[in-house]
Chains A and B, each alone.
Chain A
Amino acid sequence: MEKKEVLWIYQKMNEIRFFEEEVHRTFGKGLIPGFVHLYAGEEAVATGVMALLDDDDYITSTHRGHGHAIAKGCDIRGMMAEIMGKKDGLGGGKGGSMHVADVEKGMLGANGIVGGGFGLAAGAALSIKTLGRDNVAVCFFGDGASNEGTFHEGLNLASILNLPVIFVCENNQFGEGTPFRYASASETVAERASAYNMPGVRVDGMDVEAVYNATKEAIVRAKAGQGPTLIECDTYRMFGHFEGDEQKYKTDQDPNRDRDPIVELREKAIQKGWMTETEANDIETAAKATIKDAVEFAEASPLPDLSSLYTDIFA
């Protein structure tokens, strides 16, 4: 990783963490309708991948999508307003937390349907291939989604059509409240890649450099016409499946429970000379300010006009 990339990653990681902590607080105050799934703890995955993408690359996301959206460059004010159901939200307040999206930024949406992204990402990669673009599509999905039938259909289709897509599994140990080790017949998600004739790698998802390196290799393969790659990132979610989850299923022995990818990057980056202590402090301060500004913006934004109930159904 280059210094510039590390600084960007550290900034985005902090924005995601402060964003999610703020959403956690705001949800607790009753200001956010519906269901919210927080990304905190998994920041190394979104940022390690997105450091290598630009606006013309596509991603599909999950119900736990705030981190992907921030890292993909979605407007943070618009995201916060969307999550609060406000008029100035990215979707005009009509999508909410589970549907945060910005197609122009290549963010094809958080997704309320577990496993909903496999086909969509393959399709975005089909567009890239058919139209001769030099880009990739990335499908983020959880360990829970890896047991949906669409995992099989999406990976198989992408492989036989040799599509420029990267499947990134965020294995946070639990699909809702059910441990992955119970729900999956295979020990890892990565090992299933062999069934689809594509490389499958399992990396430390708390180590952004590991995610970054695996992604870099997968992008080279995809752009060289060598087809898809499956990357499994071993990670952990700091909060529950949804806000309000008592998390009775968690134990002290959970892998990665005591780790924090942001703290780890800070230490490593300073030690390696990628980032100074001052730079780190400045980034943290700026990220906090960005989120504070987003909250103020979102709170000041009006509710959507009632007439918007009926718009945006057809183009």
Chain B
Amino acid sequence: MTKREVTFMTAITEAMAQAMRKDETVILIGTDVAGGAEVDHLVKDDGRYDDAFGGVFGLSKGLVTEFGRGRVIDTPIAEHGYFGAAVGAAATGLRPISELMFNDFIGFALDPILNQGAKMRYMFGGKAKIPLTVRTVHGAGAGAAAQHSQTLYGWFGSIPGVKVVVPSNPYDAKGLMLAAIEDDNLVVFSEDKMLYGMKGDVPEEYYTIEIGKANVVREGTDLTIVAIGKMVQVAQQTAETLQKDDISVEVIDLRTVAPWDQETVLNSVKKTGRLIVIDESNPHNNTATDIASVVADKAFDYLDGPIKTVCAPNTPVPFAHNLEQAYIPDVKKVLTVAEELIIDLQKKAVRV
């Protein structure tokens, strides 16, 4: 495979373009996924279309030029309507990618996901498939305040019939996006907007990353840190800091939030005996608490200390920069939380 460095954003754009080239039933539908529909001066001399936005973050830039307005479909700002259409299209022969501009807008788009797309196969006794990818954006850090910064992938993940992937780097973003589009189920692909500029090695070729499988990004023996999306960087930095004190941390990038990879997490905890989960969601009923509950149930005898979760506080996302930074889990918070486990570890070392 050819190696190149591209951004997280470019990796996703490339994945969508490659999927659309490979399979003509793949369409992109959402608000301003191209932008500028029926604006005369955005039609090029050769009859192809230019876009006004290519998505508000520019992730679908250029797709309308290559694939036309029949496959890159601008919708009115009507999330309930076009998500319903995306589910209906998925049930009848298309393989749509439908964009929810910010995950915070889910209030207007929830029924087609919660009650239609996620349940049709089950209610119909297995006689329907819904190959729909829901692309959406989460995360604090951009100063976008309470209605454009939440981390809600856990909500989607609590719905039976929905898969949820959260990439942490450009390589994973491309491979997971292609896997999501290939998947015959409703897959929510949730992107942290703060990662869009992140650069990394991404092969030009088409490749997929298995949905449902976590990635052990750093092996260790004393402590397991499970992290999601942007928080993987926090976990890695924490691991490097603790390494200076000879504490060996295993870092697991969860990659898929639902269904999450119990085997990899449990095996790691059985080895290290200690677990911290970092999740930027609000602190209750989220992915971190779910992992903590399953590990407490299935690996209790292997634990040498309490399971710790490091999450956002139980508040809306604040606007002011200092408040927003205080909201987001960071290395300092993880180290503070790790202290109890580390003290415990040091005691154990003394005993030995």
Contacts and interface: CB of A to CB of B under 8 A. Distances in A.
Contacts of A120: 84-85, 87-88, 91, 112, 116
Chain B CB within 10 A, most for which of A119, A122, A311: A119
A314 B303 CA distance: 33
A91 B81 contact: no
Interface stretch (A150-158, A181-189, A199-207, A251-259): A150-158
A120 to B, nearest CB: 4
Interface in A116-170: 116, 118-128, 130-131, 137, 149-150, 152-154, 156-157, 160-161
Contacts of A150: 80-81, 84, 111
Nearest to B185: A314
B85 A101 contact: no
Chain A CB within 10 A, most for which of B76, B86, B89, B130: B89
Contacts, number: 161
A119 B122 CA distance: 20
A92 B91 CA distance: 19
Contacts of A94: 122-123, 125
Chain B CB within 10 A, most for which of A90, A93, A104, A314: A314
A234 to B, nearest CB: 26
B78 A156 contact: yes
B46 to A, nearest CB: 23
A150 B81 CA distance: 6
Interface residues of B, number: 45
Contact of B161 (A112, A153, A314): A314
B129 to A, nearest CB: 4
Contact of B129 (A95, A104, A128, A315): A315
A163 B291 CA distance: 45
Given A91-B125, A101-B128, A314-B121, A121 B88 contact: yes
A103 B70 CA distance: 25
Given A101-B128, A118-B84, A311-B126, A113 B78 contact: no
B126 A119 contact: no
A272 B70 CA distance: 47
Given A150-B81, A313-B122, A314-B163, A126 B115 contact: no
A101 B127 contact: yes
Contacts of A154: 81, 84-85
Contacts of A130: 25, 27, 70-71, 89, 94
A162 to B, nearest CB: 11
Nearest to B86: A123
Nearest to A87: B125
Contacts of A103: 91-92, 124, 127-128
Contact of B76 (A95, A111, A160): A160
Interface in A78-118: 89-95, 99, 101-104, 108-109, 111-113, 116, 118
A113 B81 CA distance: 14
Nearest to A111: B116
Contacts of A91: 123-125, 127
B71 A116 contact: no
A58 B303 CA distance: 55
B256 to A, nearest CB: 13
B264 interface: no
A108 B91 contact: yes
A103 B338 CA distance: 52
A152 to B, nearest CB: 8
Contacts of B82: 119, 153, 157
Nearest to A314: B185
A312 interface: yes
B125 A123 contact: no
Contact of B121 (A123, A152, A313): A313
A60 interface: yes
B112 A119 contact: yes
Contacts of A95: 122-125
B88 A122 contact: yes
Interface in B130-167: 130-131, 160-161, 163
B122 A312 contact: yes
Nearest to B79: A153
Nearest to B111: A113
Contacts of B92: 58, 103, 108, 123-124, 127-128
Interface in B71-109: 71, 73, 75-76, 78, 80-94
Given A92-B125, A103-B92, A156-B81, 13 more contacts: A91-B123, A94-B123, A101-B120, A101-B128, A108-B120, A118-B84, A119-B112, A123-B84, A123-B88, A123-B89, A126-B73, A126-B85, A127-B94
Interface of A: 58, 60, 89-95, 99, 101-104, 108-109, 111-113, 116, 118-128, 130-131, 137, 149-150, 152-154, 156-157, 160-161, 311-315
Which are the 9 A-B pairs with shortest beta-carbon distances? A119-B84, A123-B88, A153-B81, A92-B125, A120-B88, A95-B123, A123-B85, A91-B125, A312-B126
23 contacts: A90-B127, A102-B127, A103-B91, A104-B127, A112-B115, A113-B111, A119-B82, A119-B86, A120-B87, A120-B88, A122-B84, A122-B85, A124-B89, A126-B29, A127-B89, A131-B25, A153-B78, A154-B81, A157-B75, A160-B76, A313-B121, A313-B160, A313-B161
